[in-house]
């Protein structure tokens, strides 16, 4: 059976949500972050050398990287959650899947880490304004894209939404900037109502 190695408060929620949406049987193996370091426990390193989550075990193979896992699971078990490869929307789908873990994740994490540094008394020079400029550019782009939309691609739930949810929720909540990005805020409120999302949150 498919196994999901799930760390609390992590990108692994992307996979849990997808598995609940497609109704694929799976075994959930849970790990807790260290209370002091916030890192994953060493036991995750026994599963994959990076010791990060999510990781799945599928057909005897250990697979890391949430984007790869989402694409693989959708191809294998839920092709209806992706536009057809010959359709015009397919390249949009791929761009949004990769946008979530690259363009959006970097400025979000930089801003969160900058907050920790500032609270610890570090005086930031280049990094603070770089993070602010990048974050505003990327999140304004996303906010504009979501104007009048409920989902990222083809106005229906696709793999791109499973990827993006974790980043935008974290960003708007931790950086308290929901009022600056109202279309992203509405997008979040919409997917939080989906029963597969609510089931995933309960299991997490
Ligand atoms: N690019 C990877 C990132 C995986 C990752 O950094 N996971 C974090 C949780 S969100 C983690 O396991 N952190 C704990 C640690 O590094 O000890 C993915 O998309 O799966």
* Assigned token pair, 190: 């919409």
Q: What is the mean pLDDT of the chain?
A: 97
Mean pLDDT of 143-160: 98
- pLDDT at 65 exceeding the cut of 90: yes
- Between helix 182-191 and helix 126-145 the angle, nearest 10°, is 70
pTM score above 0.95:
yes
Distance of CA 43 to the CA centre of its chain: 23
Alpha carbon of 167 to ligand 1 centroid (Å) = 12
67-110: pLDDT as tens digits: 999 999 999 999 999 999 999 999 999 999 999 999 999 999 99
Ligand 1 site, residue 66, Cβ cutoff 6 A:
yes
* Assigned token pair, 79: 């092709």
Mean pLDDT of 149-174: 98
**Which of 7, 35, 52 best tests ligand 1's pocket when mutated (most atoms within 8 Å of CB)?**
52
Q: What is the DSSP letter of 58?
A: E
Ligand 1 site, residue 53, Cβ cutoff 6 A:
yes
Nearest to 16 by CA among 60, 54, 61, 51: 54
- pLDDT at 63 exceeding the cut of 90: yes
Nearest to 20 by CA among 130, 132, 162: 162
List, in order of start, the domains of the chain with CATH numbers.
3-81 (3.40.30.10), 89-198 (1.20.1050.10)
Range in 52-61, 124-133, 147-156, 160-169 the model is least confident about = 124-133
Mean pLDDT of 159-178: 98
Given 3-state DSSP classes, what are the helix, strand and coil percentages for the chain, each rounded to the nearest 5? 55, 10, 35
* Assigned token pair, 169: 């929720």
- pLDDT at 27 exceeding the cut of 90: yes
How far is Cα 154 from Cα 158, in angstroms, rounded to an integer?
8
Identify the three-state secondary structure at position 78: coil
At residue 133 the predicted structure's pLDDT band, cuts being 50, 70 and 90, is: very high
104-128: pLDDT as tens digits: 999 999 999 999 999 999 998 888 8
């Amino acid at each position: 059976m498919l196994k999901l190695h799930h760390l609390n408060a992590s990108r692994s929620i992307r996979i849990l949500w997808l598995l609940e949406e497609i109704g694929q049987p799976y075994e959930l193996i849970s790990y807790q972050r260290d209370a002091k370091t916030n890192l994953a426990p060493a036991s995750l390193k026994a599963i994959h050398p990076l010791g990060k989550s999510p990781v799945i075990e599928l057909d005897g193979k250990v697979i890391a990287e949430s984007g790869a896992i989402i694409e693989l699971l959708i191809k294998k078990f839920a092709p209806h959650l992706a536009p057809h490869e010959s359709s015009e929307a397919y390249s949009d789908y791929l761009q949004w899947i990769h946008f979530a873990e690259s363009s959006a994740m970097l400025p979000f994490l930089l801003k969160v880490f900058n907050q920790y540094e500032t609270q610890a008394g570090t005086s930031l020079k280049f990094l603070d304004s770089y993070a602010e400029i990048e974050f505003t550019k990327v999140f304004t782009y996303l906010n504009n894209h979501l104007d009048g939309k409920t989902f990222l691609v083809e106005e229906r739930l696709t793999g791109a939404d499973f990827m993006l949810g974790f980043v935008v929720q974290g960003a708007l909540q931790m950086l308290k900037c929901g009022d600056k990005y109202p279309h992203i805020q509405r997008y979040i409120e919409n997917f939080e109502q989906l029963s597969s999302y609510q089931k995933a949150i309960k299991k997490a």
